[in-house]
Structures are given as C-alpha cells and as structure tokens.
Structure 1
Amino acid sequence: MARVVAVDGQRELKLTEGWELALTAPDAVGDLAALESAKLDWLPAVVPGTAAQALRAAGKYTLEAPTPLHGHDVWYRCRFAASACQPGEARTLRFGGLATFATVWLNGEQVLESDNMFHEHEVDVSLALEERNWLHVCFRALDPKLAAKRPRPRWRPRMMSHQNLRFVRTTLLGHLPGWCPPVHAVGPWRGVSLVEHVGPLRVRSADLRTAVDGTAGVLAVELHVEHEQPRALEDAWLECAGVRSPFRHSGQGVLRADVRVEQAALWWPHTHGESALHAVTAQVAGTAVDLGRTGFRTLELDRAKGDFALSVNGAPVFARGACWSTPDLVALPGTAEAYAPWLALAREAGMNLLRVGGTMAYEADPFFALCDELGILVWQDAMLANFDYPAGDRAFLASLTKEVQQLLERTQAHPSLAVVCGGSEIAQQAAMLGVPRAQWSALSLDEVLERLVLKHRADVPFVAHTPLGGELPFQADSGVTHYYGVGAYLRPLDDARRANVRFASECLAFANVPAPATVAAVLAPGEAPVHSPAWKRTVPRDVGASWDFEDVREHYLKTLYGVDPLTLRYEEPQRYLELSRAVTGEVMEATFAEWRRPASTTRGGLVFLFQDLRPGAGWGVVDALGTPKAAYAALKRAFAPRALFLTDEGLNGLHAHLVNERPTALEGTLTVALYKGTVAIAQGSQPVTLAPRAGLTVPVAGLLDAFVDATYAYRFGPPAHEVTVARLTAPGGATLAEAFHFPKGLALPRQELGLEGEVVLGEGGWALHVKTGRFAQSVHVEDEHFRAVDDWFHLAPGAARVVPLKALGPGQAVPDGELHALNALAPARFRSKS
C-alpha cells in the first residue's frame, strides 16, 4: 500500500528510548527464562540502528577491526509504557525492518518471527499490552545458518564471503571482502513503533496512482477503510493541487476517487525543469487523512535497436549520476537528517539519477521523499546480486515477493522512482564463469519481479538485470552495461567512443584519493599513504586479482601526465597525491564529454560509487566523511545542464559541443582561444543559439581566420600552443561554461603563474576571488573550515573567477588557507582581512 502519513485519531509512539543490547554465543540463551538468569553485559542501544552502531558508541567497535557479529546472538530489550486499549480501539506494533533472523516477545509472549531483513511487520497487540511493557528481540547468529548444507549452485561468485548467502534475505554489505569491511548488519535497523488507533476510522490500505493526460495530471486513489458507522463513509472526498473530488463507496469499506488537475505543474528531474510536488489529502467521515505528496510525470524507456534511452514527460534525458552506497556503513541510517547532506551534494553535482544497487540495502521513505524534492531520479535494484539464487524454492520466492511488493507499495507516491531492476551482475556472472547460455537468467525470478512492477508501479520501466543486452550480457553497445573499458580494463580514453556504449549503469571505478584531511584521518602519525597497511585496506580490489584499483589509477596517471608513479611516490609523495587526485577527474570528464556530445549513442552513465564505505581511497567521488573529492568537482562540470565540451577529432580538428537541457532556449557567444604562454596565437568567436533540450557541435576551425593545428594531428613542427580554451558566455558576458584541450597532454611544466586568491564577503557569504597571470591547471582550494563550491578547475591566462565558499561546520571561522595549481611552483596563501 502507499504510505499513509497520518490519520486523525491515530497516534504513533516511536520506541527510540531505553533500549539495551547484549551479545551471547549462538543459542547459548534459548528463551526469555534463560535470558533472565544469564549474566550478560547490557549496553545502551540506538533504535532504529544496528548492534555495530551501539558497540561503536560504547567504544567497542571500529572499522579497522570490526567485531564479527554474525558469530553471536544479539539480544535487545526495551521497557515502555502504554495506555489501556478501550473498546473500539486497537494497538499495533510496527517493525520497519529486523536484520535478520529475529524473534520478538512482548511481555513474555512470542508475537513475531522474521527471517528477512527487508520485511516490514505489523502485529496486533491490542490484548497483550499492559501499563508497563517489556519488548525483547533476539537476532540469532547468521554463521550457523550459513554453515548448513545446501544444494550446490551452478556458479560461485568470488566476490562474496560465503556462497550460502544466496539463501538469506539480508544485505550483502559486509560480505564483499574486496571492497567492503566486514561490518555485519544486525538489529532493528528500520525502527520500532507502537501505533494507537483511537478514532472511529482505520485506514487498512491505500493505493495511489498518477498519470499525465495531455496537459492534465490525473490522480487515482483507492482506500480500504473500517469505520464504526459504515454509512458515514458516504461522506468522503479527495483533494490534490486545489482540486477536490468525492470518493465512491463500493461497499466493504472500499473508497475510490479520481482527481484531474488541468494544466498541472509536472515533476521533472532538476536538470530539466522544476520538480513540482502536490499534497494529497482526504477526508473520510469527518476524519482527515494525509497521503503525503506526489508528482505528475511520465516515464518511457526506448530499447529499440539496442538502445536504452530514458525520457521524462516526453523529453529525452541524459541520465547521469552515481551508484549509491550508504551514508554510514555501521548504522545504515534511514532518516532525512542522515540522507540530506549526501543528496544535496548529488544535486549540486548535476546528478539526476542515483542507482541503489543489488549489493546494498533498500533505503527508507525519507530517501525517496528527498529525491522527490531535489529532482533526483532513482534506479532501484532488487537486493539480488551475482548469485545463482534458488528460484525454485517456494519459501525463498515468497519472501522475495513480499519484500519487493512492500518496496513498490511504499514508494507508490514517489515520482523519483524511475527504474526497477531485477538485480546486479547475475547474468554477467553466469556468462563469465562459463555457464551455458540457457542458464544465464532465472526466468522464474524475472517473471515474478516483472509482474510485481506491472501490478504496483506500472508507470516505472522494469529491467530484468544489469548489465543486459546484446549477444553477451555485458556487451557495451547494446542495452545496459557495466562499462569499465576506460578504467579497470585499462583501455585508452577513446574507447569511451569506440565501445559505442548505450547506457552504463556502472562505470569509471577508480581508487579516488580523498582530500588531505581525510588522508590524515586514515593514517597513524608517521605513516605514509599508498603502501601503509591502513591505506591499502581502503583501496578496492577484485577478489583473486593480482591488481587493485590504485594500479588502475596509476595507469592513467602515467598515460595522461607522463610520469612514472613509482618514481614520483619515492621523490615527491605529496605531488604524487595531488596528481592522483586530479587524474581520475580528468578521465571522468573526458569520458562524459564523449558521451554527452550531440552525436553520441550513449544515453546515460552512473559512476561507481557515489560515497565511500570507509575513509580512504575508495571508489566514491565523495569520501566517507562527506567531503567531495577532485573527481566530484570534475563530474560537476561534466554533468551541468548547460555544458561545453571539446573533443579531439584527429585530422578533422577540434570540435566544440554545446548542450542545453533547460526548457528555455540558450543564446550566447562561443569563444575559442589558443594560448602559448600568456599570448593567444589564434582566437575567434561566433553567436550560438540552442533550442530547449538541444545540442550543437561546432568545428573550432570555423571560428579561426587561418589554419592552426589545434589537435596537433598534422605535426608540422612542434605544437604552436599549449592549451585551447573554449568559453560559452551569456549575452551579458557572464561565463556559462568552459572547456579546455591540451595538444601535448596534461604534463605542463611548473612555473610562476601569478596565481592569487582574495577573500571577499558578500550577500551570499564568503567567497574567494581567484585570478592568474598564466594558465593555471587544476586550481583547488585547501581550507580547514571551508569547501570551495567550484574546485579543481582550469583557469585561462589572465582570467579571474569568484569561487563561493561553504562552511564545513558551525562557528565563526573565517577563510584561511591555500590556493593550489598543479603547474604552480608553490601555493598561494589567502586569509580574510576581517
């Protein structure tokens, strides 16, 4: 059912206080009687939360040496008060999620057993409540269950810590030794509450569907209710966006109503328009019912001729973003406060699609609500990945069906849900491990999941697997792929075009080096990065491989900057870190330049990952402490709704590609200048007009009065210039976008640049006025108390830029730091004068 936010006369008491937990050996305490006599070390616990979170708060748990909780039973207990249940009233205990094999007792009586971390439960406790109540939950150890003898799988993915996890409905986080510390999810991770039904009306379920008919938004709602006086149900209405419609009572407490909103404001991803949301309310027999907010939008997925193109409200959308992990691997939080800073960063970077992959965990309602508000689409995998799942096991299939059905029902009102996928790398794993083609997909699982989507979210496209398409599931030029040609497979940058990628639901995974403060947090005093054991623990790798993703990064460091990584680490370790931060961003920006140009066949790409699972050089473009990395800044430029790119077309010269995704036309001027030192040896400009949601490609040669070998393809002597600067400006002269091309590569000599930073304070807060005499490469700001909103950018000779600064925390700190550039001899100091 769609989530009912509130009903007058219904009170929800969140049981968050007074919880304790204790650990025992598996089955050492069999029941509550044995628990009373056992001498256990009880610790304060956080609910919703995990046992690891409570142990961390008590100083007994670290990411460096996590306690293996699956080898223990974990007991929780809570004392709470409740009012007596009067005639006509009811009380239910609501469990948002119990990880994983859980037994629940209320006042000594067993009321629930659960074996699926992702199930929600409601238990009628109207007759079991007392004035003072004891609630106990026992989470049984997972290790003994994994050790049970099970049928052999057709294939065995090496990336998992135990093959029998395929039978257990729990998150795979903590079981991926190549890239995730063994943090075990145990506990009431999604909260516990007591719901008091004291009014005459009880809403049993709600079904909420939206559609777009021409320029009108259409809302259809079905309520299943109970009322003390059934005849009173004839007086009921539904309201949305100021339009009210009566409910039709068809008997048995079923109410149906439709609302048609003419000229409705549609919901768009933030890159393409406003993300309009509308409150949905009802009144049934005088009782108000809050059904939350929803949005009107259409989704289409074009898969013709191997394509994979998403459209929203009839407009093609280049979907870009990242694969989401979790705000906190230990706590697995589900609150708006936990999600908000991360999702704000995703929106700031121009991301319009986040994928919650099959190795992670389903996020809570506030995640989708915030994505609705921020205009971020969500690709949702079922929590299935890599394994040969027991599709013929009826109990497994029933548990999975309930899990996915609950997810689809509780997200019914959310327009942000854009794709539902059956799982990650299942068909790919089977194919790569030599399983016959006929066994690459469990059709029974695919069919069950597709039927569920058609029944509960028919407005959302269903994808059986990712990757999937072509003769091989992982084929890049058909359907959806996980593209690591540029990346793990060490292909040259032009492979991003050669591979003819249609849609990459994973791509561009690198060991992204974090900011200096995070590096310091990872290492003990005196330890050096890269080969310190503490550092290496944070670097992702494929289990069994003789390389890791730091090796991948170093391959491109050598290719793009012409340095020997080993020598550079020996001689200039800080220089090594600076170049390592920059290089992955350069690779990502170049790749998306290829994919977003107007002639590209690519319809989207999601970087793996959005945020790290622990501090260090992980896949995330944001580190585990919430600090963006250099790669994040590069993606922010590459993902801008109005963007400019330069591509080397060989003997065809340099091409400028302009993109306008906004609903209004773009008029401006495209200017190109080729610099040698501080002198522009050639330059030109032309006015440009881009229609709404359109692109334009302009050969740079057409802007210049004479031939210049802009890409150094003809090689008539040494290159005549060092950098080409393209700039798109608005009619008033404001810069809308910039792009740069380096005919000799990124290995620029270090020299005196005349780089300066001056702190200014305006109505919008602190900012840094940056200017340079000579070309400045990968300019970045280091300040203990502030983050530069624009960072790791190139700055043309003689150019200036105002960079907004965001405070990293509360307080009265003023900007005080250093301005760096890769080709500068030394950093430039800046400090506020106030």
Structure 2
Amino acid sequence: MPNSFPALRPSPGQPVTRFHLTVTPAGAVVTPEALSAIDDWVPATAPGTAAAALAAAGRYDPLAPESLHDKDIWYRADLVSFGEGAKVLSLEGLATIAEVYLDGTLILSSGSMFEGHELPVHLKAQSRLDICFRALAPYLEAKGPRARWRPQLAASQGLRLVRTTLLGHMPGWCPEIHAVGPWRAITLHEAGQPTLSQLELLANLGRDGVGYLTFSGLLEGWMGEVSLVCGGQRLTLEKSEEGRWAGTLEIPDVRHWMPHTHGTPHLYEVQLYLGSCQIDLGRTGFRRIEVETGADGKGFGLTINDVSVFCRGAVWTNADLLGLSGDSGTYRPLLEKARLAGMNMLRIGGTMVYETRAFFELCDELGILVWQDFQFANYDYPVQDEAFAALVQEEARQQLTRLQECPSLAVLCGGSEIYQQGAMMGLPESRWKGALCEELLRVAAGAYRPDVPYVANSPCGGALPFSPNEGVAHYYGVGAYLRPLEDARRAEVRFAAECLAFSNVPESRTLEKHLPVKPGHDPRWKARIPRDRGAGWDFEDVRDHYLKSLYGVDPLVLRYGDPDRYLDLSRAVTADILEQTFGEWRRAQSTCRGALVWTFQDLLPGAGWGVIDATGCPKPAWHALRRAFRPLNVTLSDEGTNGLFAHLHNETPAVRQLVLTVSCLRDGMTPVVSGKRAFELGPHSSQDVAATDLFGAFFDTAYAYRFGPPAHDVTVARLVDEATGEILSEAFHFPQGFDPARQPLDIQADLAKGEDADWLLTLTAARTARFVHLDVEGFLPLDNWFHIAPGAPKLIRLVPETESDGAPAGILRAVSSNSQISFRG
C-alpha cells in the first residue's frame, strides 16, 4: 500500500459514522449485490464494533457472548450527503479480514486490524459504501509455518498468523467478546488538499535547557513557504532535493515535561503553516528519557530529565471491551482516576489493542508515562514469511507515526512473554530470541521514536528472561506463586512490568447492583474470577491463600458461615499486600525501580484483577495504591532485631520542611513511647530513619526480642508539613499481626462543606480501627479502607460522582469492629 497513512490535512474531513449491518453465514454472500435480498439490518456506528451494535439492538448479550468469528458481517452506509467528485477515503482500522466496496466495486482487501488505509475514490450522487468483515474462524484454522512452541494463553494457535487482538480469545482472562467491525474512524476528505505524510516530528530536551523540535515530512499539493511554530518561536522549513521539508526549531529556556509525581507536565502547541493555512500537529512536551541499569549493570529504571523516577501504576486493559471506543470522553474518567491514585505509568500490554492518540494526549496532559508493547504476545510469530514481516513493519510505522511528539510515550517494547514462553518450554535462547523483537520492531522504534527506550520483550534480561533479579520481570512471587511477603525483597526485583495479580473484590454497592450472588455459592461468581487457561487453580484461590496465611482465618469456613465478612477480609487482604509490597519496593535500599500492577480495570463486574471495577468505581486495592504511591510519603518496615524503620520520600521538585512523629500504642489507644523529629527533605530524595532514633532509648518496636508480653499492639508514623501542620502521610505497623477480635467503633464523624461540590469528613478516633471503610452513595471518598488511630484527626474529601447539590449521607464501618456509624451532611 502507499506510504501515506496516517496523513494530515488542514481540513479534518467528514466522518462517516452512520451504518447499518447485517449478519450472514460465512461465505454465503460473495458481493454486495446479493445483499438486496436481505431486509434484516440493524443500526451501527463507526468507529464501533458489531458486538456493540447488536447489543444495542437487543441481539447480543455481553454477559453471555456468542461467537462472531464464524459468520460474515456486512456494514453499509449511503454517502449521498458527502457530495460528488474526487475524495480520499480514510479507514483507520478494520477488524479484521475486511473487503471494502464502493458502489459494488471492490476497492480494498485488508487482513490486519492494526493497519489503516487511505484510498482515492470518486463519489457519485448516490454512492454507497459496503464493508464485509469475513468470518475469522477459517483463517484461524489455516496452516502456517510450524511453530517452535504452543502457548496456553489463547484458545487458537492460528492467532499467530493473523494481525488481530487477543482480547476475546483468552478464556479466563476476559469475556469472549470478539472484535469485529470498523473499530476506528472512517473519514472522507476533499481531494486536492495539501497533504502531510511520512511525518517525523521529534521533541527533545537538550542538556543546555533548550527544547529542540525536529520536523521532517512530505507535502503534496503545496509549493509555497512552510513554517513550524511552537513555544513562541517560528522556523521557516527548507525543502530537500528529495522533496522533504525539514528543520529544527529551538526554544530557549523551555519548560520541561515531567510525570505528575515529580513535577509539572508542561505542554506546547505545535502548528505547521502553509503560508497562512494551518495544520494542527497537536501538543508536545520536552523531556529526556534515559535508562539506568544500576551499579552492576543488571537493573532497569528510567531517568526523566536527569531525575530518577520510581515508575508505578498498572497494566491497562481496555476502556470499552464491547465497542473498543477510543475517544477522549471514554478514556478521561479512567485516566483521571489513575492520576488520582498517584500512578505515573500505565502499560499497554501485548495482549490488548493499540489505543488511539486521544489516550496519549490525555496522558501527556495528566503527566502519566506510557509503556507501549507492540501487539504481540506469547506466540512464535512467522516473521520469516516476507509478507508477514512487511505487515509488521507497516503496522509499527503507522502506530509510531500516530504518536509522534507525544511526551508520555516512555518505553517501547517488542511484546509480552514471547521470550518467557519459549524459555519456559525448555528451548535454548537461539530458538526463542528472534528477528521480530530483536530486528523488525527494534529498527522501527529507533526510526520513528529514537527518543524512547526500547525493550525487546517483557519480561527479559538475565540468564532466563523471567528472572526477577535482572532486567524487566513479570513478578508473581507474591501472588500466583504463593510466596511470603518477604519474597518481594528476597527476589531482588529490578523492574516489574506486571506484578501482584489478585482477585480484587469490588465494593459491596457494585456487587449488589451487578452481581448479587454469594461468593463461591453461585457459578456466576466463579465465572468472573480470572484464571490461567489450563491451571487447576484461579486467582481467588491465590487470595484465599494469603487470607489464611496472613490473617489466620480459614476462607472456606468463613465463606460458608459469614460470606459478608469473608468479602470484607478479602478486600482488606489484597489492599494490605499491595500497600506493604510497594512500601518495600520504594525503600531507598531497594533494588526495584518500578512496578506495574496487573491490572488497572476489570472487563466485567466481579472480583477481577482490576483495581478499578468494570463500572469505573475504585476498589479497596485502588485506595491502598493511592496511599502507597504518594509523592510525599512515609512507610514502615519491620527489620527484625534492627527494629522498625521509617522511610521518607519526597519526589516533588521542591525542598520540604517536614516533621516525622512515631507513636507506639497499647490497646490501640494508650501511648507507651513516642517521639518526633524535624527533617529537611531535598527534592527527589528519600531518607531512612530508625524509629528508636526518635525515642532516644531502646524500645522493641518490632517485638523481635520478645522480653515478656508485648508492650504495644500498633505503631503509628505520621509525616507532617512543618509549616501548616497538615498530615501528608500515615503508616501503621501491627507487631502481632492480624487480630480477629472486634472492638466497638469509637470514632466521631463530622461533615462540613468543602470547596465547590466537595465535602470534608473529619474523623476522630479514640481507639485504633483497622480497615475503616465508607459507603457514601453518589460520592467518592479520596481515602478508604484505611487504618485510623488516636492522636490526630483524619480528613477525607468526598467528591461527587455526578453533578448534584445534595449533601452526602453514609455509613462508616471497620473490619476490626462489628458496629457502624452513620453520618449525614
């Protein structure tokens, strides 16, 4: 195909959005003429999917999806309103085996979901566009070059031969909702407009503080002056003998783009002027990303503008599995919750889809780094086939060209678990390390985004590609492999591109509305529990293991006798594990430079992997991560006979004057020993402090020496802003572990109107309570499932989830109590 897609023009063009679709047996209708005998059509839209259109018409149940890959699906649109004459038809993505007809004539056959097309067309007064999405099943059954290994991830081995998403093909991972249809935009442009293609636009930050914006591209239909404008600077571009316009614009004293946890994500508008005619090239940010490997050269971490960044966040799944929406309105609520949780990185794994530029533009704005896998996972792909290799190269070119100058793009990766899959099959490195990741994708990344580090595969590094103590890991020692929490330190994790997968239980309100069944007592509950294909266990079994080993309760007995408490303790234990593990990894002495939780959001309501449920509501695990990810933070670690250590973090660009207080309480309320100290914590710095240094004398804070009965049952550390007295962070340590006994809930709750529509809830405790949780209909508490102790009030902001003038009313409960408190504004 011509090397012109994606292309940019001064005019945005006219979107073709209104279609009708019909479903026919595979191969039954060869050409559009035969459709005249069919009167069974339903409305459909583009961009969109057949599953979404059929569901809207009441003909498809996303909770019990039927296969769409064993039938043909025809889309039809009348183009009467688009005018006659020469046009350019832009098709940004067709899933997956597609034939495009204009007025009954075949104008395109496409075999990749991830490839866009631009076609010159001529419209008549009554033109019609037909697109046939052929049944995928026969293509999945086709024989290709023999594979060196057969993964268990997906149901069909034929997926290695077809460029389509694995979503919908991974039993136990996601619903079997098949991606079929024009999932990305279809647009008609006027022919003869100036057209920008083969764009190369690179924003870099020099060590001299100058922003450098390098432009290169082909312009068709324009012979006049061309200039590039950004940051108040203008550069007249020059045309080479090869016909490319090029130049480098310099912006002195440019404001840097930083992830939001470490600074401000400054952005600049970029325009290309053809005389007085403007082409908007979007916004860019100036930053410099480098890989740091540590003193031994075996690590992996990122420095942004010479600042070492601990990357934390989650693996993105999909914002709309049914319709595969890619618009800003769909993305924004979820991405804002990622930022609100303190996440500074999201990974788009190789088992998903490429997200649209709108996703990256929002991440640019919000200061969230993106780790982008190319969409390859687990399989032995036939890149020795020249046609397949060419398809891969074009796919990579198009995807990277779409993301020119987006500063949030931080890592490019050849795919997910290809190296791991081959190595775990016992094959030598020469068999599983191949041209796809080492050559084709590496070359494409270097050509189109040389400012972004490239990782061959995730995981990779070390004697085996999945060893956590070198390079990039997928760490499930704590989690699926049932290792004790201490393994997070013992494994010497360097960077976990995915980790800590648990069956995270949603809030009760979500379950009551969308899955009103008892855990384990109904097959619908178990159907929503994620599992690895072929394994004899699922991720609820994993969670139950830790419920028993950490809290000393038998999950089977509890689930049978008190299912509501089982759910509460299940919510608590995964939140507990996440907060403790990230506290471990963020220590100054830790080898870990980043970790991404598997996964960010669920695809169905239930106890899935996500820390956000399928309705968009944060789970208790999300709140735990929000506490663990704070840029200004204190955590506690039990160092055995060395006692408790407090770990202070200031990731902001400013010096902070802080006060650390530590108190050990008996019966959760009576201070036994306490101390405080003022600290000046420099920008982007951490400090470790022994808790006993604040007391001035020995005290067995970790209850390691065990000289008699324990003198206390909880230690509370607070990090306080010295100037304002605001509590920035709290950390708790319970030396005797989990106590199943329940005490009365001795907390006073006071509500007051805050700024705008927010409300402030002030909680004052007379006794320590564990895993306090709020249920406030219509409001999102910005902290939940937390511990509270005497000594200082706890302020919680309640944010309305919809526009409303109503006052909040809610209930406060705690896992450590069998009572509850009501409050009302």
Q: Same fold (TM over 0.5)?
A: yes
Tell whether the 8 Å contact from 2:717 to 2:732 is kept in structure 1 after alignment. Answer: yes
Give 1:97's aligned residue. Answer: 93
Alpha-carbon distance between aligned partners in 2 of 1:631 and 1:253, rounded to the nearest angstrom: 55
Alpha-carbon distance between aligned partners in 1 of 2:729 and 2:93, rounded to the nearest angstrom: 46
Q: Report the Cα offset of residue 32 of structure 1.
A: 1.2
1:569-620 CA-to-partner distances (Å, cap 9, x unmatched) read 1222111111101110110111111100111110000000000111110000
Structure 1 unmatched runs, 5+: none
Q: Tell me the amino acid that sits aligned with residue 468 of structure 1.
A: C
| 2:41 matches 1:42 | yes
Q: Tell me the amino acid that sits aligned with residue 672 of structure 2.
A: I
Alpha-carbon distance between aligned partners in 2 of 1:478 and 1:51, rounded to the nearest angstrom: 44
Q: Secondary structure of the equivalent of 1:680? A: strand
| 2:14 matches 1:13 | yes
Give 1:189's aligned residue. Answer: 183
**Selected match of 2:251 from 250, 256, 261:** 261
Q: Tell me the amino acid that sits aligned with residue 206 of structure 1.
A: L
Give 1:564's aligned residue. Answer: 554
Tell whether the 8 Å contact from 1:781 to 1:787 is kept in structure 2 after alignment. Answer: no
Q: For this pair of structures, how many residues does the alignment match?
A: 817
Range that drifts further, 766-775 or 633-642? 766-775
**Selected match of 1:460 from 431, 452, 456:** 452
Compute the RMSD of aligned alpha carbons. Answer: 1.7
**Cα gap change, 1:407 to 1:461, in 2 (>3 Å):** same
Give 2:776's aligned residue. Answer: 783
Tell whether the 8 Å contact from 1:490 to 1:552 is kept in structure 2 after alignment. Answer: yes
Alpha-carbon distance between aligned partners in 2 of 1:781 and 1:5, rounded to the nearest angstrom: 50
Alpha-carbon distance between aligned partners in 2 of 1:353 and 1:401, rounded to the nearest angstrom: 26
Q: Report the Cα offset of residue 282 of structure 1.
A: 2.2
Give 1:490's aligned residue. Answer: 482
Q: Secondary structure of the equivalent of 1:45? A: strand
Range that drifts further, 435-444 or 643-652? 435-444
Q: Tell me the amino acid that sits aligned with residue 24 of structure 2.
A: T
Moved over 6 A (4+): 1-6
Q: Report the Cα offset of residue 80 of structure 1.
A: 2.1
Give 2:691's aligned residue. Answer: 700
Range that drifts further, 298-307 or 456-465? 298-307
1:110-142 CA-to-partner distances (Å, cap 9, x unmatched) read 1111000011111111xx211232110000001
Q: Secondary structure of the equivalent of 1:767? A: strand
**Selected match of 1:767 from 760, 770, 786:** 760
Q: Tell me the amino acid that sits aligned with residue 54 of structure 2.
A: L
1:538-569 CA-to-partner distances (Å, cap 9, x unmatched) read 10111121111001111111122221111111
Tell whether the 8 Å contact from 2:515 to 2:606 is kept in structure 1 after alignment. Answer: no
Q: Secondary structure of the equivalent of 1:585? A: helix
Alpha-carbon distance between aligned partners in 1 of 2:526 and 2:454, rounded to the nearest angstrom: 38
Q: Report the Cα offset of residue 756 of structure 1.
A: 2.9
| 2:786 matches 1:793 | yes
Q: Secondary structure of the equivalent of 2:390? A: helix
| 2:153 matches 1:159 | yes
Q: Report the Cα offset of residue 781 of structure 1.
A: 0.9
Q: Report the Cα offset of residue 14 of structure 1.
A: 0.8
Q: Report the Cα offset of residue 455 of structure 1.
A: 0.8
**Selected match of 1:111 from 107, 110, 116:** 107
Q: Secondary structure of the equivalent of 1:674? A: strand
Q: Report the Cα offset of residue 522 of structure 1.
A: 3.7
Alpha-carbon distance between aligned partners in 1 of 2:595 and 2:445, rounded to the nearest angstrom: 24
| 2:336 matches 1:337 | no
Give 1:76's aligned residue. Answer: 75
Q: Report the Cα offset of residue 758 of structure 1.
A: 2.5
**Cα gap change, 1:60 to 1:68, in 2 (>3 Å):** same
Give 2:506's aligned residue. Answer: 514
Any residues of structure 2 matched to 1:126-275 within 5 Å, and which? 128-197=122-191, 199=193, 201-213=194-206, 214-227=208-221, 230=223, 233=224, 235-251=225-241, 253-275=243-265
Range that drifts further, 468-477 or 791-800? 791-800
Q: Report the Cα offset of residue 3 of structure 1.
A: 9.5
Alpha-carbon distance between aligned partners in 1 of 2:221 and 2:181, rounded to the nearest angstrom: 36
Q: Tell me the amino acid that sits aligned with residue 418 of structure 1.
A: A
Alpha-carbon distance between aligned partners in 1 of 2:439 and 2:12, rounded to the nearest angstrom: 39
Tell whether the 8 Å contact from 1:5 to 1:291 is kept in structure 2 after alignment. Answer: no
Q: Report the Cα offset of residue 46 of structure 1.
A: 2.1
1:236-278 CA-to-partner distances (Å, cap 9, x unmatched) read 3211100112121335643223211110001101111110110
**Cα gap change, 1:296 to 1:3, in 2 (>3 Å):** farther
Give 2:630's aligned residue. Answer: 640
1:1-58 CA-to-partner distances (Å, cap 9, x unmatched) read 99999744x34101112x1111111001111122223x35211112111011011111
Q: Report the Cα offset of residue 521 of structure 1.
A: 3.2
**Selected match of 1:718 from 706, 709, 732:** 709
Q: Tell me the amino acid that sits aligned with residue 101 of structure 1.
A: I
Range that drifts further, 750-759 or 271-280? 750-759
Alpha-carbon distance between aligned partners in 2 of 1:179 and 1:350, rounded to the nearest angstrom: 26
Give 2:525's aligned residue. Answer: 535
**Cα gap change, 1:378 to 1:342, in 2 (>3 Å):** same
Q: Percent identity?
A: 48
| 2:690 matches 1:691 | no
Q: Report the Cα offset of residue 444 of structure 1.
A: 4.7
Tell whether the 8 Å contact from 2:289 to 2:453 is kept in structure 1 after alignment. Answer: yes
Q: Tell me the amino acid that sits aligned with residue 60 of structure 2.
A: Y
Range that drifts further, 103-112 or 691-700? 103-112
1:418-469 CA-to-partner distances (Å, cap 9, x unmatched) read 0000010111111112223321212354211111111111000111111111
Q: Secondary structure of the equivalent of 1:355? A: strand
Structure 2 unmatched runs, 5+: none
Give 1:26's aligned residue. Answer: 26
Superposition TM-score, scaled by structure 1 size? 0.96
Q: Tell me the amino acid that sits aligned with residue 506 of structure 2.
A: P
Tell whether the 8 Å contact from 1:49 to 1:187 is kept in structure 2 after alignment. Answer: yes
Q: Report the Cα offset of residue 143 of structure 1.
A: 0.8
Give 1:576's aligned residue. Answer: 566
**Cα gap change, 1:787 to 1:431, in 2 (>3 Å):** same
Tell whether the 8 Å contact from 1:519 to 1:529 is kept in structure 2 after alignment. Answer: no
Tell whether the 8 Å contact from 1:26 to 1:140 is kept in structure 2 after alignment. Answer: yes
**Cα gap change, 1:428 to 1:57, in 2 (>3 Å):** same
Q: Report the Cα offset of residue 498 of structure 1.
A: 0.4
**Selected match of 1:413 from 387, 391, 405:** 405
Give 2:595's aligned residue. Answer: 605
Tell whether the 8 Å contact from 1:226 to 1:253 is kept in structure 2 after alignment. Answer: no
Q: Tell me the amino acid that sits aligned with residue 147 of structure 1.
A: E
Tell whether the 8 Å contact from 2:168 to 2:178 is kept in structure 1 after alignment. Answer: yes
Q: Report the Cα offset of residue 105 of structure 1.
A: 0.6
**Cα gap change, 1:248 to 1:148, in 2 (>3 Å):** closer
Tell whether the 8 Å contact from 1:7 to 1:287 is kept in structure 2 after alignment. Answer: no
Alpha-carbon distance between aligned partners in 2 of 1:816 and 1:761, rounded to the nearest angstrom: 13
Q: Tell me the amino acid that sits aligned with residue 13 of structure 1.
A: Q
Q: Secondary structure of the equivalent of 2:601? A: coil
Q: Secondary structure of the equivalent of 1:69? A: coil
Alpha-carbon distance between aligned partners in 1 of 2:5 and 2:135, rounded to the nearest angstrom: 32
Alpha-carbon distance between aligned partners in 2 of 1:489 and 1:202, rounded to the nearest angstrom: 54
Tell whether the 8 Å contact from 1:309 to 1:603 is kept in structure 2 after alignment. Answer: yes
Alpha-carbon distance between aligned partners in 1 of 2:311 and 2:553, rounded to the nearest angstrom: 34
Give 1:590's aligned residue. Answer: 580
Q: Report the Cα offset of residue 749 of structure 1.
A: 2.3
Q: Secondary structure of the equivalent of 2:127? A: strand
Q: Tell me the amino acid that sits aligned with residue 607 of structure 2.
A: A
Alpha-carbon distance between aligned partners in 1 of 2:427 and 2:557, rounded to the nearest angstrom: 44
Alpha-carbon distance between aligned partners in 1 of 2:766 and 2:91, rounded to the nearest angstrom: 62
Alpha-carbon distance between aligned partners in 1 of 2:146 and 2:633, rounded to the nearest angstrom: 52
Give 2:356's aligned residue. Answer: 364
1:618-650 CA-to-partner distances (Å, cap 9, x unmatched) read 000000110000000000011111111100000
Alpha-carbon distance between aligned partners in 2 of 1:355 and 1:83, rounded to the nearest angstrom: 39
Tell whether the 8 Å contact from 1:103 to 1:139 is kept in structure 2 after alignment. Answer: yes
**Cα gap change, 1:445 to 1:481, in 2 (>3 Å):** closer
**Cα gap change, 1:2 to 1:827, in 2 (>3 Å):** farther
Q: Tell me the amino acid that sits aligned with residue 286 of structure 2.
A: F
